[in-house]
Amino acid sequence: MKSLNLFYFFAFITVLAACNKDDDMDIATCGDGIQNGDEQGVDCGGSCDPCPQETFYFVGVEAATDPATDVLSPTNSIESGTVSPIGNGFEQPAWMTFMQGPDQILVGGYTSAPEFFSYEVVNGELTRGSSFFTDLAIYAFDFVDESTAVMIGSAREGFAEKKIYHVNTDDMSIMNTVVSDFGNVEADSLLGFPIDVKVRGNKMFVAYYNIHARGDFSTPSANEAKVAVFDYPSFTFNKIITDSRTANIGRYYSSNALEMDEDGNIYTYSPSSLACGYTPVPANNSGILRINNGSSEFDANYFIDFEDISGGYKINDLFYVADGKAVVRVLQEDETNPIFLWASYAPTSAAAFMEVGILDLNTQSFTLLPNVPKSGGGWNAAHLVEGSKLYLGVSNEAYAGIYIIDVENGTAVEGAKIEGNYAKGILSLKE
């Protein structure tokens, strides 16, 4: 009898231990090096801290084909090696724009009707999704959040109204369209041409410049910075704000004329250059203005005369990075020499002349980075910001690649090379 009791005792202990083990398997311990409980990975996800997302990188490349084609190419690294579009990625028509969204990439352009396609990472693979059409070419865009974008289309001549498209990027549909004639001055034959758009809270800011309505992109009245202000999301027009300390903002087909910092302040840049297509060149210098968070006016106490602090350079592109610092692509030109007209739109130029530097927006100091090769520029400035680093596309007749500029350390090093004419977009997605 005593032996039988001992048998039942040990059997009970064994079953109890097994039950406790099963219970342990149902509990996320978050620190035992084992995936258990509701964890989605080892010690992460579920009731533990979120699992780190994997980052996938892509480069929009203009391939060296005849005729030229654009390719959205996956790459293992943008910091080393070579990005090749050959048999790698999604081929596009030429003249495409690659738009970085929070969780997707949109691709569209001149030769796509204009049609905009969505690309996302699904199970580790870049996948093309659905698309939508606009009835005007798009010259300014902003991703408001993971589900919403704003795009602005315009004619290139005359006084036709511009269109503001409110886009649902989840199902790739246009929720509503609003027409507006902001910036047009018919009495002076001026068309207000959109350059960039930024939504901040319940306001939308649209940078534009005035070109002659005959469509030759001359700028007879560009000696003033101008931004149209709207309510968001109603798109009700509020006003035009202006500043005579510098010239019209941005340049044709750029997307970085309204750059927002961590505090919600918006910085604008004015090229005031023949190379950016301004003809005649405005009398006011290339400069930077600021619209403070909570305000819809230019800050009267903030202005950077960039030509003055840089020793004669003009801004071609400005990319806000972090901690009050931006990377600027800059140029020097002879305003009287017609060879410079539109010269910053020559990405494979044999006479590349654009340089790169770091601008401290707080101390208003500029540092040139002489080890970055001179670039011929382009329509879209390929770039990607990660922390204190900017990945910048650089190209000329003999070179195409990516440079990594760290604004915290003030350094620039070569990253991946591009097998093709040049990089049109540097992009990333997480999964």
Which tens digit of pLDDT belongs to each residue from 250-266? 999 988 999 999 999 99
Looking at residue 15, what is its pLDDT? 42
Looking at residue 379, what is its pLDDT? 87
- Calpha distance 407→421 (Å, rounded): 27
Tokens found for residue 104: 């997707």
Q: Is 401 helix (H, G, I), strand (E, B) or coil?
A: strand
- Which DSSP symbol is given to 273? -
**CB of 105 closer than 8 Å to CB of 118:** yes
The count of other CB atoms within 10 Å of the CB of residue 7 is: 10
- Range of weakest confidence among 39-43, 102-106, 255-259: 39-43
Tokens found for residue 24: 């342990």
- Range of weakest confidence among 14-23, 47-56, 121-130, 142-151: 14-23
Residue 15 is assigned to a structural domain of this protein: yes
Looking at residue 282, what is its pLDDT? 98
Looking at residue 35, what is its pLDDT? 87
Residue 30 is assigned to a structural domain of this protein: yes
Percentage of the chain with pLDDT > 70?
93
pLDDT tens readout for residues 151-166: 999 999 999 999 999 9
- Calpha distance 126→140 (Å, rounded): 25
What pLDDT band is residue 21 in, cutting at 50, 70 and 90?
A: very low
Residue 257 is assigned to a structural domain of this protein: no
Residue 100 is assigned to a structural domain of this protein: no
Q: Which residue in 228, 223, 224 sits closest to 296, CA to CA?
A: 228
Looking at residue 2, what is its pLDDT? 45
Inform me whether the pLDDT recorded for 199 exceeds 70. Answer: yes
Looking at residue 218, what is its pLDDT? 97
Question: How many Cα neighbours within 13 Å face the side chain of 342?
Answer: 9
Tokens found for residue 101: 């969204």
Looking at residue 340, what is its pLDDT? 97
Looking at residue 122, what is its pLDDT? 96
Please calculate the CA angle 295-299-305 and round it to the nearest 5 degrees.
Answer: 150
- Average pLDDT (4-11) is 46
- Calpha distance 121→144 (Å, rounded): 20
Inform me whether the pLDDT recorded for 308 exceeds 60. Answer: yes
Inform me whether the pLDDT recorded for 14 exceeds 80. Answer: no
Looking at the DSSP bridge assignments, the partners of residue 311 are: none
**CB of 272 closer than 8 Å to CB of 284:** yes
Looking at residue 254, what is its pLDDT? 87
- Calpha distance 303→291 (Å, rounded): 11
Residue 119 is assigned to a structural domain of this protein: no
Residue 17 is assigned to a structural domain of this protein: yes
Q: Which residue in 223, 207, 345 sits closest to 276, CA to CA?
A: 345
- Range of weakest confidence among 105-114, 292-301, 308-317, 410-419: 105-114
What pLDDT band is residue 18 in, cutting at 50, 70 and 90?
A: very low
Model confidence, pTM: 0.90
Q: Please state the domain count of the chain.
A: 1
Q: Is 63 helix (H, G, I), strand (E, B) or coil?
A: strand
**CB of 418 closer than 8 Å to CB of 59:** yes
Looking at residue 52, what is its pLDDT? 78
Looking at every residue in the chain, the average pLDDT score rounds to 93
Phi-psi region of 124 (alpha: psi -120 to 50; beta: other; left: phi over 0): left
- Calpha distance 20→296 (Å, rounded): 63
- Calpha distance 275→345 (Å, rounded): 8
Looking at residue 16, what is its pLDDT? 42
- Calpha distance 303→267 (Å, rounded): 10
Helices marked H in 311-415 — which ranges? none
Q: For residue 34, give its domain range.
A: 1-52
Inform me whether the pLDDT recorded for 167 exceeds 80. Answer: yes
Looking at residue 161, what is its pLDDT? 93
The count of other CB atoms within 10 Å of the CB of residue 125 is: 10
Please calculate the CA angle 394-77-357 and round it to the nearest 5 degrees.
Answer: 30
**CB of 104 closer than 8 Å to CB of 128:** no
Residue 1 is assigned to a structural domain of this protein: yes
Residue 32 is assigned to a structural domain of this protein: yes
